[in-house]
Amino acid sequence: MGWRVEDPGFAVVFDRAIPPFVEAELADAVDGMLAGMGRSRSGIDRFCCHPGGVKVIDAIESSLELPVGTLDLERDVLNDCGNMSAPTVLFVLERLIARGLPETVLMTAFGPGFTCAGMLLECP
């Protein structure tokens, strides 16, 4: 995963190894993040994820053992806007807020290198 300079700007470069890597490694990364917050996946009402591509969304659902189609807003944003790098998750969040933000949401995004960041959102 990286960037290529093109006219008029940057183009993202993806490796076909990303979806299998996400499927194999994401659950452990998410579990580690949540453990650091004293949480577990069972306490998350909704994941709000960076839709890095159709195959990446499928890999996220598989890795986190989510029913197929759970990440519907991620698919919608990817279809409507494309993958705009890690900030794409904010477009998913906007739609999730419009739908009605669940009480406990873990927002995740991927970046170059291959990095994964997470933020716990809690609504009273």
Spatial CA neighbour of 47 closest among 94, 115, 96: 96
Query: Which residue has tokens 């990095």?
Result: 115
CB 23 within 8 A of CB 59: yes
Q: What per-residue confidence (pLDDT) applies to 112?
A: 72
CA-CA distance, 112 to 122, in Å (whole number)? Answer: 27
Both tokens of residue 120?
Answer: 């716990």
Architecture in CATH of 17-122: 3-Layer(aba) Sandwich (3.40)
Percent of the chain's residues with pLDDT above 90: 73
At residue 5, the 3 state secondary structure works out as strand
**Domain limits of the chain?**
17-122
Give the pLDDT confidence of 56-87 residue by residue, as tens digits.
999 999 999 999 999 999 999 999 998 888 99
Instruction: Determine the average pLDDT of the residues in 37-50.
Output: 97
Instruction: State both tokens at 1.
Output: 């995963």
pTM: 0.87
Q: Where are the alpha helices (DSSP H) in the chain?
A: 18-36, 54-63, 72-81, 88-99
Residue 6's pLDDT is 77
Query: What is the rounded average pLDDT for all residues in the chain?
Result: 91
- Would the pLDDT of 55 be above 70? yes
Residue 102: predicted pLDDT: 97
Tell me how far apart the alpha carbons of residues 115 and 89 are, in angstroms, rounded to a whole number: 14
